[in-house]
A and B are shown apart, each in its own frame.
Chain A
Amino acid sequence: MLNIALPKGRLGEKVYSMFEKAGYECPSIKETNRKLIFENQNKGIRYFWVKPSDVSIYVERGAADIGVAGKDILLEYSPNVYELLDLDMGKCKMCVAAKKEFRDEYVKVLKVATKFTKIASDYYSKIGRDIDIIKLNGSIELAPILGLSDVIVDIVETGSTLKENNLEVKTTILPISARLISNKASFKFKGEEIEKIVSAMKEQVENND
């Protein structure tokens, strides 16, 4: 039996339909109830929904053999897992954004508000800019508006929230998309099943292109 951790929410639902089309359906997942785990014994799979940022923890610790996580989460937490496939969905960008009129004059330490402290630190250390990191857990866009920070480092999908709040993207750090990840030990002992899923999912990705 292969345990698969799916991220809760819109992305997770899209990912599940990809698994379904790839031949790994599990009809019980669509029933409305409070069940947490959904199993298709014939296919040898068991799905469960978890918070998107927790998928990599479930996979790294072996509670799930495989799972789907955003590249942002993988870069932020660097879990010790295999990253087997780019699902080419849930696409967005990790960006530096600020008020439209903001210009970095490089005269003082830059105040950066973000949920992604590691990604932000790595980026600014690469360009040699001193920063003061302000870790926030939500509503990041508020920080520059209220003067809490000079800039924010956050995920931008369409950019409409930024626009509505008089903010704009200053730099794109990297593109983000959903990735299929695997626990390293599971790959050693359930490698054949995992490879089959990866290749079926790869076909789905290519069909979507």
Chain B
Amino acid sequence: MIDETLMNFEERSAYKLRSLYKKYGYLPYEMGKFEEYELYIRNKDFLVSDRVITFNDTNGKLMALKPDVTLSIIKNGEDTKGVKQKVFYNENVYRVSESTHRFKEIMQTGLECIGDIDIYDIYEVISLAAESLSNLSNNFCIEISNLDLVSSVIKSVCEDPQFVSKVIYCISEKNTHDLKRVCEEYSVNDADYTKISSLISVYGERKNVISKLNEIFTLPELERMAILSEMLENSLFSDKIRFDFSVVNDMNYYNGFVYRGFVDGVCCGVLAGGQYDNMMKKMNRTSGAVGFAIYLDRIEDLYRENDKFDVDYLLLYDEHTDLVKISSQVSKLIASGLSVSAQKSVPEKLRYKNIIDLRKKD
């Protein structure tokens, strides 16, 4: 039996998630810490930060400390029709921290389903994303968008790439006032403005979103959303999974369903993922892919156990204390399930609940 109380937050989370993913047939994916730098330079926009720690290997090849896991999984994965590779990972990656702007070792956990994927796989991955967050917090939500739908709606109004990118930016900010200005700038009529702005104003409960959007436009992507939504009704955390088009990922890499996970008390998204068939194409793969990553470092603050003690007992002794007495006291405490630190003086940083002083008093 594993005593989870002995684990720190990252270890405990990784342990829980590992057993969850294994239940669904995802296999652990382990890899080395280095990768050829070329892989990242070719796909730098896919990375959270394009800055990478590099070094020359003994053969002169430029190598990098991995800033990302997904690219390595795609690179090493199979690309055969009808084959699906389901893996999860729990690896350290090396990135520039958003807060300190310096390199940081970050534990990243996630899973990828690569190959001949279909809507069932997307459903499974999103359900697992929700279940993963349920292991980390009671109050969480997953918000799903569909990039193909967003792109179809915008392009049906105007295909100018600048217009598309400006509108997507407004949608990501839920910014209707600047959207209005952009539409005016491109002489978009009121009916089309209403159509686009519905991608900002309509969000939340899935069925409600589908029915509202069905009143505004008919698109095949909406049907896919309805199918996914119905499948998610069977998910354990169906009520925590909503639609929101402000979730926007880079369309050069992502397509179809993309999602973000939030946990109450953490100021930013803690889970991000989606379909990345476009990335697969860029890497000359013919199959599709869907996955997510969880940023455990962002959740860690919620679980800082400031009030916790390091040990139950601090046992103090000196050179005059009977050695048998010390060892028997320690054994007795350990046997009764308590922790103890035997010391000659009180350590400055040790947090203890009780103290036993066996030092000889003069």
Contacts and interface: CB of A to CB of B under 8 A. Distances in A.
Interface residues of B, number: 16
Given A82-B173, A83-B174, A188 B141 contact: yes
Interface in A47-76: 60-63
Contacts of A84: 174-175
A61 B265 CA distance: 11
A188 B178 contact: no
A184 interface: yes
Interface stretch (B40-48, B266-274, B287-295, B343-351): B266-274
B102 interface: no
A83 B262 contact: no
A185 B269 contact: yes
Contacts of B267: 60-63, 183, 185-186
A151 interface: no
Contacts, number: 45
Contacts of B246: 82, 184
A188 B173 contact: no
Q: Describe B's contact surface by its main secondary structure.
A: loop
Contacts of B178: 83, 86
A106 interface: no
B262 A188 contact: yes
A119 interface: no
Contacts of B143: 188
Contacts of A63: 267
Interface string A97-130: 0000000000000000000000000000000000
A61 B177 CA distance: 24
Contacts of B175: 82-84
Q: Which residue, of B139, B174, B178, B263, has the highest number of chain A Cβ atoms within 10 A?
A: B174
Given A183-B267, A188-B262, 11 more contacts: A60-B267, A62-B267, A81-B173, A82-B175, A82-B246, A83-B173, A83-B178, A185-B266, A188-B141, A189-B139, A189-B264
Interface of B: 139, 141, 143, 173-175, 177-178, 246, 262-264, 266-269
8 contacts: A60-B268, A82-B174, A83-B174, A84-B174, A184-B246, A185-B269, A187-B174, A189-B262
Which are the 4 A-B pairs with shortest beta-carbon distances?
A62-B267, A86-B177, A83-B175, A82-B174
